[in-house]
């Protein structure tokens, strides 16, 4: 088979981008007789970056095939959409199907496609916004036109059923996974020195600056810890996201980060992140809502004890291998952090449970279940 992918925005940080890259790699490694065609924008630098990323996989090819969605600006977006329709038609003629790993990220939908709906959180916004209105329009269009729909969790599948009970679309939950690069590692003094974490133990958070991630709640919970614990234990925040969001976060919380044992980190390369997970006292991720919650699985696979949320998909993904708390109750988060700080036995128990739970997930499993979707569509 020849499977196409929208690869216009799969480089960089973010759960959906990671999902796309790891899925493509898993498919190409498992199904060497099939061809996987990455359709990217007319940017030569992006094409070269994708070719380097998949250089070891001869059955992955990259084509400059699609206009960037903001190529002509908002005022002429109708022209961009028209051009996208033409190019989708041209380049998908010799493909069995196209997989849109982010169907909300393309200007127009192609004629034949499989879609992964990772989340529909904008629909829950109280206020009217451009993003919410776009999701209100695009989501039923995906459910109507896609040959098949995949979600990363049962939770998102159920959300779609709640919002669109009239849809008879069959939806298949196929979970994500953590990269094999995440595994327990010995403590690296070099890495810890690089981020000022060599002299103290630390709690770790990794994620985007986003209201759903509940970062203020993590900071408040840490500051509620007894002074004796905070004097020997830091809170390391590894943050990513759009510069305006990070600037706004720093504007409101910079005064709490100075002199309180809280360390703010950006642009941490993957090789260092692996070490930070493995050496942390605990991973604190009391999120308000997630489609899958990949950082939880990355921490577990690294042997790091996890404190996370009892909401959304997290209980589904973490099982009984994490401390699950009410994310809106900072005292409950703080008590859980204190438990990990004071109990090596609890840390060891959660580390072992987390490693066992993480073995339920692999990109090979994700690739194989996704290939079954492609085959059913082609049949």
d(CA 118, CA 373): 16
Based on the domain organization, do 247 and 280 belong to the same domain? yes
Please report, in tens digits, the pLDDT of each residue of the chain (379 residues total). Answer: 999 999 999 998 788 999 999 999 999 999 999 999 999 988 888 999 999 999 999 999 999 878 766 554 565 566 777 778 887 887 888 899 999 999 999 888 998 999 999 999 999 877 778 889 999 999 999 999 999 999 999 999 999 999 999 998 889 999 999 999 999 999 999 999 999 998 889 999 999 999 999 999 999 999 999 999 999 999 999 998 888 888 888 888 877 777 789 999 988 998 999 999 999 999 999 999 999 999 999 999 999 999 999 999 999 999 999 999 999 999 999 999 999 999 999 999 999 999 999 999 999 999 999 999 999 999 8
Classify residue 247: in a domain, yes or no. yes
Based on the domain organization, do 42 and 165 belong to the same domain? yes
Based on the domain organization, do 239 and 219 belong to the same domain? yes
The tokens describing 142, both together, are 């995906």
Domain holding 7, by residue range, is 2-177+362-378
Based on the domain organization, do 40 and 117 belong to the same domain? yes
Classify residue 285: in a domain, yes or no. yes
Report pLDDT digits (tens) over 138-163: 999 999 999 999 999 999 999 999 99
Residue 310: the pLDDT is 97
Based on the domain organization, do 157 and 231 belong to the same domain? no
The answer to whether the beta carbons of residues 268 and 238 sit under 8 Å apart is yes
Based on the domain organization, do 367 and 343 belong to the same domain? no
Based on the domain organization, do 21 and 7 belong to the same domain? yes
Classify residue 206: in a domain, yes or no. yes
The answer to whether the beta carbons of residues 109 and 139 sit under 8 Å apart is no
d(CA 39, CA 358): 32
d(CA 311, CA 369): 26
Based on the domain organization, do 350 and 367 belong to the same domain? no
Classify residue 182: in a domain, yes or no. no
Number of structural domains (the chain) is 2
Residue 228: the pLDDT is 95
Classify residue 73: in a domain, yes or no. yes
Q: What CATH number did the domain enclosing 122 receive?
A: 3.40.50.2000
Closest by CA position to 303, among listed 360, 258, 350 = 350
Residue 124: the pLDDT is 84
Classify residue 183: in a domain, yes or no. no
Classify residue 316: in a domain, yes or no. yes
Classify residue 184: in a domain, yes or no. no
Based on the domain organization, do 128 and 257 belong to the same domain? no
Based on the domain organization, do 125 and 225 belong to the same domain? no
Based on the domain organization, do 353 and 371 belong to the same domain? no
Based on the domain organization, do 172 and 62 belong to the same domain? yes
């Amino acid at each position: 088979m020849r499977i196409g992918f929208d690869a216009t925005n799969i480089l960089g940080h973010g759960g959906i981008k990671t999902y796309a890259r790891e899925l493509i790699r898993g498919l190409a490694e498992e199904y060497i007789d099939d061809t996987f065609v990455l359709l990217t924008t007319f940017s030569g630098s992006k094409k070269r970056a994708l070719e380097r990323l998949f250089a070891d996989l001869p059955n992955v090819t990259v084509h400059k095939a699609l206009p960037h969605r903001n190529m002509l600006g908002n005022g002429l977006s109708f022209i961009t959409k028209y051009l996208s329709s033409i190019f989708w038609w041209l380049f998908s003629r010799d493909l069995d199907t196209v997989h849109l790993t982010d169907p909300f990220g393309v200007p127009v939908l192609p004629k034949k496609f499989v879609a992964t709906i990772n989340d529909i959180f904008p629909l829950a916004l109280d206020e009217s916004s451009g993003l919410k209105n776009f999701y209100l329009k695009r989501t039923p269009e995906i459910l109507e036109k896609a040959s098949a729909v995949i979600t990363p969790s049962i939770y998102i599948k159920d959300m779609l059923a709640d919002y669109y009970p009239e849809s008879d679309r069959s939806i298949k939950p196929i979970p994500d996974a953590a990269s094999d690069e995440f595994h327990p590692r010995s403590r690296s003094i070099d890495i810890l020195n690089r981020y000022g974490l060599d002299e103290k133990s630390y709690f770790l958070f990794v994620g985007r600056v986003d209201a759903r991630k509940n970062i203020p709640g993590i900071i408040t919970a840490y500051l509620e810890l007894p002074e004796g614990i905070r004097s020997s234990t830091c809170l390391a925040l590894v943050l990513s996201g759009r510069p305006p969001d990070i600037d706004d976060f720093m504007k409101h919380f910079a005064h709490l980060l100075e002199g309180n044992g809280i360390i703010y980190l950006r642009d941490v390369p993957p090789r260092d992140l692996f070490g930070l997970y493995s050496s942390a006292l605990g991973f604190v991720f009391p999120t308000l809502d997630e489609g899958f919650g990949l950082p939880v699985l990355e921490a577990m696979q690294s042997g790091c004890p996890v404190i996370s949320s009892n909401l959304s998909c997290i209980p589904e993904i973490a099982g009984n291998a994490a401390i699950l708390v009410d994310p809106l109750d900072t005292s409950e988060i703080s008590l859980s952090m204190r438990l990990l700080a004071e109990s090596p036995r609890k840390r060891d128990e959660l580390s072992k449970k987390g490693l066992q739970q993480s073995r339920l997930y692999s990109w090979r499993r994700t690739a194989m279940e996704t290939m079954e979707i492609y085959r059913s569509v082609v049949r």
